Amino acid sequence: MSAKRSPKAVTSPEEKETTTRLLPNGFKACVVSKSSVAVPLPPPEDTSSTVSSSSLADGENERGNWGRQLDFFLSCVGYAVGLGNIWRFPYLCYQSGGGAFLVPYLLFLVVCGMPLFFMEMSFGQFASLGPITIWKICPLFKGLGYGMVIISGIVCIYYNVIIAWTLYYIYHSYDVVWATCDNWWNTADCVKQSSAEFYPQNTSLLTNSSSSNFESVGNNSVVDVDIKTISNATRKTSSEEFWLYNVLHQSAGIDELGEIQWPLALTLFIAWFVVFLCLQKGIKSSGKVVYVSATFPYVVLVCLLIRGVTLPGAWNGIVFYLSPRWELLLSFKVWGDAATQIFYSVGAAWGAVLTMASYNKFSNNVYRDAMLIPIINCATSIFAGFVVFSIIGFMAYETGNSIEEVVSEGPGLAFVVYPEAVSRLPLSPLWAFLFFIMLFAIGLDSQFGMFETAISAFVDEFPTVLQKRKPLFTAVLCFVMFLLGLPCVTEGGMYVLQLMDWYSAAFSLMIISLLELICISWIYGIDRFFMDISLMIKRPPSLWWKLCWCYITPGTIVCLLTFIIINHEAVSYDDYKYPKWSIVCGWMIAMCSIVPIPILAVVQLLKAEGSFKERLISCLQPTEKWGPALEEHRILYKKSLSLVSSRFPQKRELIANQNASTDQRNIDGVCMVQTEDALLTAESCI
């Protein structure tokens, strides 16, 4: 094997005198300088799987890197800022104390959101591997990677259905057909939108609440569906009838799936086709799309805010949004909701942050990115609240109702209330188009992150089969998920979507995050992980992160998991109660991402050799292939093991000096060591 040298070492006269030789079977090479200092080189089995054959000068491994660092940054921002930021947070803020809600919200950002985001981003960047293969750090926990991929895969299926809805509304925004009651889908109970007859007897558009959890994706916040009707149960607004009878063709329950809604099936196919076009070349193609998809929503939000604050009643809505009600902070539920919102919003444990960071260059300033992206995410949520409540205030002014009666969240806000509001504006087709194209862009970015997680995971796990066939594999996976999403566009599709959303990620994300923290902080070792980060950013993280990763964040997740268990209710949608068989199906969906964790742990133990204790220790040790992707960084990593090793040190080969034993051969400064007798000590790395 020919030994490659680090660029930093090229100028050293002593290193220039080093030669390499082809060695007999059973021997491995090490570089020995004239000062008799041995430097370990990666063994052949390492380089075949994780070390790139590209030159060290370009700093890329065979998986590829982001074309520009801004590609990565915008991709992460686009992934983290999801639909929950627009249609969930503003309502949650108003409901949980207005401005006072920002206290627990920002607190949990600091103690839970940022630490998880920083850990996953550092983890992925250091190893340059996908969410399955990266568990070479501790094979016993490989099931966590499969759990991440399964969660992202399930959510991808129904998340693209929401994107399909936005495409359907974009198509119909040219004439704002939901503004009138004289369409084929309208009933005799439709209420016109003129101010005089909008709400007979001053009734409310949104009175009877129904809520269902959209465990948001990638960005990721719990989102409650709140579609409310006027107090007279038989009366509906034209926008609500368009949503129920034109878009959904909603049946009576999940037992009655009915026919596929072919217009929605078409928009779902278009949505998946767009995902394929943007991801067919992986990050090389998606990294360019995000320059538009991640920035355009902010342009639209600014335009909507400027238009919103100029409308009558807008400031009443904004004041209502931020007016603090400090007494609500005494409620345990408010703190639980804040923690849950942050947890899902930053997108940890889905595998997407880890995957996107794995395409970074080793020396990228991961600390800077991990601080900025969660802050931008939360700032976007707060800013979106101003946009939403300026429109809600206008709606209250127009209809003569209080803001409490008009406010909504989830699809009820996005597909009923907001379309109704923009239909009252001059140039309503323009504002409708901008609003829904913004939702499309926001949803697409989150979809990119989750879907790339699934693709990269399997390509990294089976590189010989899939690496050269990645575009084909992407196309096949897109088509399979399109087929799996078809039940969500039937007449009973909303019930199916609600069931998948309710159970897909509620418990499993918490469990995966907790085990991930335990694995890295307590099994791999927090000091060793600190050293890994130091190798990348050239300085150690502060003590605060050690406290968070070892104690504060795990404790917060345990409390949050307890809160969710205590407050968990069986799935429901509006006034509809799901049958028992469907609830059983929901729990099966929930367990899909949990079951691989113990199963893969047992498999790894069975594959190991020795007594049970020896097998367990072997599965807790990093494998020989664990470490950075590029050879120059692997050398630095192996040198650093003399300073800080993992809690269960990985097995390495013995590197001999010029005074090698009789079982070793030293020819012209190149020592050869028999691997059967090899055990690399930490001192030999310096």
316 is in an annotated binding site: no
Whose tokens are 């923009």? That residue is: 422
Please give the helix or strand (H or E) that residue 674 lies within, else none. strand 670-674
590 is in an annotated binding site: no
Half-sphere exposure of 221 (CA within 13 A, CB side): 33
* Spatial separation of the C-alpha atoms in residues 479 and 378, rounded to whole Å: 34
* Spatial separation of the C-alpha atoms in residues 336 and 677, rounded to whole Å: 55
449 is in an annotated binding site: no
208 is in an annotated binding site: no
Cα dihedral 438, 74, 215, 475 sign: positive
Q: What is the DSSP string of 129-177?
A: --TTGGGGG-GGGHHHHHHHHHHHHHHHHHHHHHHHHHHHHHHHTTTTG
How long, in residues, is the chain?
Answer: 686
- Cβ atoms of 43 and 624 within 8 Å: the answer is yes
657 is in an annotated binding site: no
Q: Other CB atoms closer than 10 Å to residue 683's CB: what's the count?
A: 9
Pick from 207, 147, 650: nearest CA to 406: 207
445 is in an annotated binding site: yes
334 is in an annotated binding site: no
Residue 102, Ramachandran bin (φ over 0: left; ψ between -120 and 50: alpha; else beta): alpha
**Tokens describing residue 411:** 């699809």
Pick from 52, 75, 483: nearest CA to 279: 75
- Cβ atoms of 18 and 658 within 8 Å: the answer is no
* Spatial separation of the C-alpha atoms in residues 420 and 427, rounded to whole Å: 13
- Cβ atoms of 222 and 229 within 8 Å: the answer is no
Whose tokens are 């196919």? That residue is: 269
Pick from 86, 94, 43, 629: nearest CA to 319: 94
**228: burial class by Cβ within 10 Å (0-12, 13-18, 19+)?**
buried
Pick from 15, 17, 4, 21: nearest CA to 58: 4
377 is in an annotated binding site: yes
Query: CB under 8 Å to 330, separation ≥6 — which residues?
Result: none
Cα distances (Å, whole numbers) of residue 416 to 7, 90, 249, 265, 409: 60, 16, 15, 21, 10
Alpha-carbon dihedral angle through residues 325, 329, 330, 336, given to the nearest 10 degrees: 140
**659: burial class by Cβ within 10 Å (0-12, 13-18, 19+)?**
exposed
Pick from 71, 248, 267, 140: nearest CA to 621: 140
* Spatial separation of the C-alpha atoms in residues 317 and 181, rounded to whole Å: 28
Question: Which residues line the annotated binding site for Na(+)?
Answer: 78, 80-81, 85, 345, 377, 445-446
Question: Which residues line the annotated binding site?
Answer: 78, 80-81, 85, 345, 377, 445-446
